Chains A and B, each alone.
Chain A
Amino acid sequence: MLGRLLKFEFWKKWKSNRHLLLGYGLVELVLLLILKLFYQNSASTYIISTNSQRNAGVSFYLITALYFIMAGILFIYPFIEGISRYNKDLSGKQAALELMIPQPSWEKIASKLIATVCVTIICGIISAFTIVMFFFVLTNFNADIITSVFNASKKVFEYPAETIFSIINGLFSYASFYLLFFFCISISKWASHKNKIAVPISIGVFAATIAVITYLQSLADKFPIINYTFLGMSSSLSSVIVDIFVFALTFIGASYVMERKIEY
C-alpha cells in the first residue's frame, strides 16, 4: 500500500506543479536565448571563459542573476512545496480526502517524505543541468569548459564509496530536517487549524525541538563512544545515534499525532 500512497504523492506533485516546471523551463530558455543572442559577442563570453573582471553591462549581470536565482528557487522549491502541501493535507479543503484514506499515518508520512526527497533530487539535477547549460551555451560549447565539467563528474565515479556515503548522509540530513517540519506542523495542527494560532505554535515547537537536539548533540560530543574521521569529517558513534534517534522520534511523533490527534 505504501507504493500506492507514493504513486498518489508523486501524481499530486506532478499534477499541481507541472505548469510551474514548464514555466521554469520556458523562462530559463528565454533568458539563455537573450544572453546568447544579445551578449554572445560582448565581453560576457570572455568573462565566463576567463573569469576576468571586464565590464559586460548591468543588464547582462541582471539577466544572469535572474537565471541563477531561478535555478536556485527550483532547487529549494520541493522543500517549500512539500511543507505547504503537508499543511494543507492536514487542515485544508482536501484534508477530508487525505484523512479518509484507510492507511496508517506512518505510511502517509513516509510516502510524503520519500516523494519530496525524490522530487528534490530531480529538481536538483534539473537545476544543475540548467547551470551547466548556461556555461556550455554562452561559451559556445568551449572545449575547456566541457572538459572541466566532465573531469569534475568523473571524480564522482572515481570514489564510489565516498560518493555513496556523501549522498546517503546528505539525503538523511535533508529527510531529518524535513521530518522536523512535519513534526512541528502536526503538533500545531493538533492545537488549532487556524493559522494565526498554529503558525506561532509551530515556530515554538521548532525552536524547542532544535534546542533539545542541540543539547543531545552536546551530550554526544561529551560522550563520543567511538571517534572517527571519514572523508575529512570528524564524527562519533554517539552523534550518529543521536541523529538516528531524532529521525525516529520525529517520524513516530508526526505519525502518532496525525493518527490520533489531528481532527478535521
Chain B
Amino acid sequence: MEILECKSVSKKYFTKKALSELDLTIEKGKIVGILGPNGSGKTTLLKLVAGLIRPTSGNIKVCGNEIGHKTKELIAYLPDSDFLYPWMKIEDAKNVYMSFFKDFNTEKFHEMLEFMKLDEEMAVKGLSKGMQEKLALALTLSREAKLIILDEPLNGVDPVAREQILKAILKGFSYESSMIITSHLINEVESLLDQVYFLKEGKIEFSGNTEDIRSEKKMTLDELYREVFAC
C-alpha cells in the first residue's frame, strides 16, 4: 500500500527553484531517508508533505488523500526547529497533542519519556537542546500516524543522546506506518533506512533500496553519498 505519492512536484520561492519535477513513492512499513547537502530541498519536501507549504506544481497524496487539513491527521511531523511554547511544561505539550491528535497514544508517550529520562513536570524553557529534541521526538513518535516525518532529528544533539534518539525511533516505529528521515549524519541513520533518496539542487540525484546499494555497489551509504555529492 502506498502511503505517500509525489508526482512531478515542483516548488518555487519567487524565482528560486527549491524542488523540480520530483517523483517519490513510499510504501507502508518503510523507513525512507532523504539525504542531501544544505539547500538541496529536503526540508522543503518535508514541509510540502506535512502541508505547511504548497507545491507550485505537481501533486502530493497521503494515503490517497490530497494534502489539506485532513491529511494533517495522518501525518506526524517533527520540524527542524523548536515549535513548543517556552512556558509549556512537558505535561502541557502532551495535553495539546492529546486534544488535537486522535492517534496520540498517551501510554506510549509515557514510555518514551521514561526511556528518554524526561519528567512531565519539566518546563520546556529549562530543557537543553538535546532534551528538547527528545521531547519533540517523543511527542511525534507517540502518534500512531500513517506517516511520520522527522526533519533532522539528530541536529545539535550529543553522541550519547543521538544513540538514545535512534533507539527511540526504532522503538517508536510501527510497520503499519512509514517514516521519512532527513539527516546530515548518514553513518548514524544508515542502519535505520530501507530506502534512500539523494537530493541535489531540488532534484533526485539517486534513489534505491539500501540493501541493494550495499550489495551491488559494495559501499556504505556514507561512501555513496560522498561519491554522489563530490564536487
Contact = CB atoms under 8 A, between A and B. Distances in A.
Interface in B78-106: 79, 81-85, 87-88, 92, 96, 99-101
B87 A104 contact: no
Contacts of B184: none
Contact of B69 (A4, A93, A95, A103): A103
A96 B85 CA distance: 11
Contacts of B137: none
Interface residues of B, number: 24
Interface stretch (A7-15, A70-78, A112-120, A176-184): A7-15
Contacts, number: 58
A102 interface: yes
Interface in B151-188: none
Interface in A173-215: none
Interface residues of A, number: 23
B54 interface: yes
A8 B101 CA distance: 13
B98 to A, nearest CB: 10
A96 B136 CA distance: 12
If over half of A's interface residues share one DSSP class (helix, strand or loop), that class is named, otherwise mixed; here it is helix
B70 interface: yes
A100 B50 contact: yes
Contact of B83 (A15, A16, A96, A261): A96
A264 B53 contact: yes
Interface of A: 4, 7-8, 12, 15-16, 93-97, 99-105, 259-261, 263-264
Interface of B: 47, 50-54, 69-70, 72-73, 77, 79, 81-85, 87-88, 92, 96, 99-101
